[in-house]
Structure 1
Amino acid sequence: MKGKLVRAEGHLANIIPIHLDASFFFERAVRSLDRNHVDKALKYFRKAVEYEPENPVNHCNMAGILSEKGDYEASNAVLAHVLDVVDPSMTECYFYMANNYANMDRFEEAEKALVTYLEEDPQGQFMTEAEEMMELLYYELDRPAKLNRIKSRKGVVEHDQARELLEEGKFAQAAELLEGMSPDYPDYLAARNNLALAYYYMGLFPKARETIAEVLEQEPGNLHALCNLAIFHQNENRADQVLLLIKKLRVIMPFQQEQVYKLATTMGILGQHDSAYVHFRRLLKDEETAADPALAHYAAVAAYNTERYDVAERLWRHVSKLDPGSEVSKFYLSGLDAVRQGELEPEKLSYHYHLPFDEQFRQWENYGSGIPEEMKNDPLIRSSFFWALRHGDRATKLQVIHALAMIGDYEVQQALQSFIQEPEEDQDLIAAAEAVLNGLHMQEQDQRKSHDQQPVAGAAVKPFQKVQSSTEQAKSETTSHWQAVVERALQMTEAKAELQQEMERIWTDYVSRVHPEVPGTKQIEGWAAGLEYLAAKIHSRPVTYQSIAERYGISASTVSKYARQIVRVCGSIPPTV
C-alpha cells in the first residue's frame, strides 16, 4: 500500500498545475483569435473579466470581440460600463463606441461619442482614424461637427485658426481668439508669442511687451520671444536692452526652418544686416523655401544693405521670375540702378515684400485705382498702416486714415475706434477718423438693405446673373472675381457635365450669404478646389483632399481649409435638387 502511494506521488509530481487566472484565459482567448475561433475567444475573455473585473483592458477586449461579431449594442454596453464603473480615464472607449454607433448608422450618437473622445483624450492615440471618421460623419449628417477643442493637440486647432487670422491681417480677431486660449493653455508658449505679435501689429506695445515677459519667465531661452522682445525694445528706443539681446541672438545658429526665418527677419529689422544675410542665404539653399519670392526679396534687401549690390541685383531678378506680376522687384532694381549711377544716395531698405509706404500712396493717388484687393489682406501692409496710425507724423496719419477707409473691415473699424479715443491726438485727425467711421457704418447699413432686397439664390436662371444684377457697377470687378472661382472649378473638373450644376448651386448659396465681403484674387485656386471637393463628395465620387490638391497645384490642407470655410458659412451643403 505504501509503495502504491509513492508511485502515485511520483506520478503527480510530473503534472504541471494549471493556474486558472485572468492571464490564463487571456492567452487562451488570443490563441483562439489566431485560429479565427471568435466564439471561443469571447468565452475566454468573459472568464478573464470574471477573474479581474477591475482590469479595463479585459473589458475592452471583450467589447472588441462583440463588435467583431456584429453585436454593437452589447459592445457599447461593455464600454459604457468601463467608463461608468471600471476606469473613467479610459477615454479611448468613446472612440470604440463611435465606431459601433457608425456601424449601426446611428450617426448622431457616433458624432457625440467621437467629439467626446477628441475633447477628452489626452494622448490622441486614434487621432488619424478619428479625423477620417469625422469626415464620414460630416457627409452623413450634412454639417460639421460641433467640436470646440482637441485635447491631445493642446490648443492646436484654436492656435491654427489664430495663425490664419494673423496671416490674413485680422489682428484684433486673432488676439480675441488667443486671449480666450490663455486660461486653458497657460503653457502653450507659441500661442502666447503670437498673441504678443497680434498686440504689436495693433500698436499695443505695452500689452505686447507684457505678454512676451510672461513667455520668457516660463522659458528664458525661447527664440521667438527673444526676437520679439528685441523688436519691441527697439520700437521704444531702449538701445541698451536691444544691444544686450543682439549679442545673445548673434551667437545662435538654429536648425529648424521656422526659427532660422524668425532670426533672419529679426536681425534685419534690428539693423544687423550681415547676420540677416547669412540666415536668409541659408534658407534659400533649402528646397522647401527656395521658390519663395518674398524670401528672395528679403535676401536681396540684406545684400543691398551690406553693399553686395551684384548679389542684390541677381536676387531681385530672381524675384521677378518667381513673381512676374509684382512691381516690387522692378521698383528696387530701378532704385539700385540709380544708386550705382550716383543719382540716389544709398539708404537702408526695410524688410517688407511690398512697395515702400510713400510709393504705395503715390501710385494709388496717381492711378486712382484704390488699394488692390490682395494688398488689403496683406498682413505686412495692414500692420504698417496700424503702426503708422499710432506712430507716424501728422501727414502720414492723415494718409493712413484715408487708406483705411478703402479697406473698411472689422479690423480697421477697431483701429479707428481706438484712435479716436486717444486724448493726445490732434483733433483734426480725430475728426477725420470719425468721418471715416461714420461713412463705413452708413455703408454697412446700405449694404444690409441691398442684401435684404436680393432675390433668393437657387432659382432656375443662371446663378451668377442673380448676383450680378443686384451688384452696383462699382463692384463689377469683385463679382467678376466670384465668377472666376466657379469658372476655374468648372475648367478643372474631370466630370464637367455631372458636377457643373452642383458647383454653381453651392457657390451661389455661399456668395449670397457672405455678400458683400470677398476674398483676395490670389485665393481663386483654393476656393475652386474646395468647391469641387464638396460637389464631388455630394455626388459620392471617390475623391480626397490630396487628389484635388495635386491637380490644382496646392496643398491638401489648403483644399480642406476652403471646403470647410464654405461649410462654416452655409451651415450645411443642401442636397441636390
Structure 2
Amino acid sequence: MAKQGGTSGKPKGHKVALVRMDATFFFERAVRSLDRHDLPRALKYFRKVVEYEPANPVNHCNLAGVLSELGDYQASNEVLERVLLELDPKMYECYFYMANNFANLGLYDLAQEYASRYLEVDPEGEFAEEAEEMLDILVTEFGTRMVRRRRDGRIRLRGDEDVARRFLEDGRFLDAAAYLEAKVQESSDATVDRNNLSLAYYYLGDVEKAIETAKGVLELQPGNLHAVCNLAIFYRSAGKEEQTQALLDQLRRLRPIQPELAYKLGTTMGILQEHRTAYDIFNHLVRFLPRPEAPVVHALAAAAANLGRLRKAARLWEEVHVLDPSSGIGRYYEEVVREAISRGLEVLPVSYQYVLPYADTTRLNGPGSEDPGSKLGRELWPPESVVRSSLMWVLRHGDPVTKKQVIPLVVSFGGEDVERALRFLLLDDDEYLPVKQAALKGMFELQPEEIVEIGLPSRILPVDFRPESARSLAGRPEWQRIVQLAVQELQGRGETTLAKVAMEIWSEFTQLIHLQAPRVRKPELWAGALECAARHRCHLPFSRKEVAERYKVSQQGLGDRLWLIIETCMLTD
C-alpha cells in the first residue's frame, strides 16, 4: 500500500513557535514578577538571568537588589562585592548599594565607610545626593565615626568581622573557626579576629583552646576589654574560679566611655551573675546616651529584675515597647514581670540577650555561655500551643527572613505538621535559598522515616534521612578514600579545622546523594572538589587550577563535581 504525502490530521502552513530560553526571556519574567511584588519568584528568574549571562554586571546588580528587598542584606553585599572584584571595578554605584545594606544590618560604621567611598570615586554620580544625605543621617542620628579599614592601601570590600559575626550568629562555629584561623594567619596582630576565634572555639566546646587564644590577644594588646571579658567567662566555664575572681576584680572597677565597650562589659557581668555591677553600667548608659536603644534599656531592665527590683524592671520594659514595638520583646517581658509581682516573686531571672526567651532556644550556646536568666521559668511563657500555632502560621505565610528564623524552633517542637511544612519548603522551586537551607538542617534533625523530595535547580533529589542510609554509602571503600584524601591534604597543609569542615560536608553529601549516588572512578577528583567546597563554605579564596594541580586531576572534572556538592548541600550563599 502506497504512503500518502503530507501529515494527516495536522494543519498545513503552521509551524510550532519555539520559546527561546535565554537571558532576555528570564529577565522579562523577573520584571513581571517584580511588578506583581512576587519577590521570591523574581529572585528565581534573576538567578537564571545571571546563569545565562554571568559576565554582565547589571544582571548581578539586579539580583543583589532583590536579595536586599527580601532582607538578605549580607548575601546582597556578597553579590555586589563580586561585581567590583571580578566583573567591573568601575561600577561605582555598588558601593552605594552596599552602604544601604550595611545600614539595614545596623553596621553604621561600614555604611558610612562605603557611602564615603562612593563619593570619593564618583562625586558626581547618580546617587551622590542620596549618599550625602545618608552620611548626614548616620552622623547625626547614630553618632558614628569614620573608620577606615584598609589593606595594602585599599578599602576592604567585605568587612572580615561581618563575615565572622554572621557565622557566629548563625551557629556555624566550625565555619567561623576555619575562616578566622585563615585570617589570623594573614595578619598575626588582628585582635578582632582573634577575639572572635576564641568565641568560636568556646562555642565548639574547646574551652582550653578558647582560653589560650584569648590570652594570646592580651599578649598582643594588654587590657583588650573584649579579651578580658571573654576570658572571665571561659575561666568560669572551665571551673577556674580563682582566675575568674582575679579578672572580676579588674572588671568591677572599669567604666568604659565607649557605649559598645560598656555594653560588652555590662553583658559579661550579667552572665557572670554580677548583677549589681551590670545594673550600674547599664543605668549609666541609659542616663547618658542621647537616645538609648531598646537593647540597652532591656539590659538595664534585666539587671533590675535579677536584683529583685521588679517594678523598676516593669517600667523599663514599658519603655522598651515604646522604642521597639514591632519586636514584642518589651510587651512580653512587661507581662512576665507583672505576673511575677502578682505571684509574690522576689527575684526574676531574666536573660540579658535582646530576644524573646523561646526564640533564644534556637541559639546554640557554648558550655556555660548561657546566663541564668535564659532559664526563665517556663511556666511564665505563653502556652506551647499558642507559640506553636503562631510559628506555623509564620512558616506558611511569613517573609523569607522570618521563616528562616523560626524553622529551628518549630523543629524543636517536632510533629507531623512540622515535617509536612518542611517538605513543602524543600520541594518548592520558588522558595528562598536560606529558607531551604534551614529546612534541610531541620530534616537532618527530625530524621523522618519516609523519603523526602528536595527541589534543586537542576533536578528533584529524593533523600532518605535515616542515619543508616548515610552509613551504607559512606562505608564503601571508594567513598571513604575520598574524604581520607581531602583530610590528609588539608591536615598536611596545617588546616585542621578546614579538614573538619570537609568531613562535615562529606557526611551531609553522602546522606543526601545516597539514593542517586554517582559512580566513583577517580577519588582524587572528588577529594579536590570536597576541599574546594569546604573553602567555598567558609568564604576562603581558592584557585580551582591550583587545587586540581595538587590532586593531579583536570579542572573540568573537579569543577563538575564541585558544582554537584554545592548544589546538593545548598552551599551557595
- TM-score, with length taken from structure 1: 0.42
- TM-score, with length taken from structure 2: 0.42
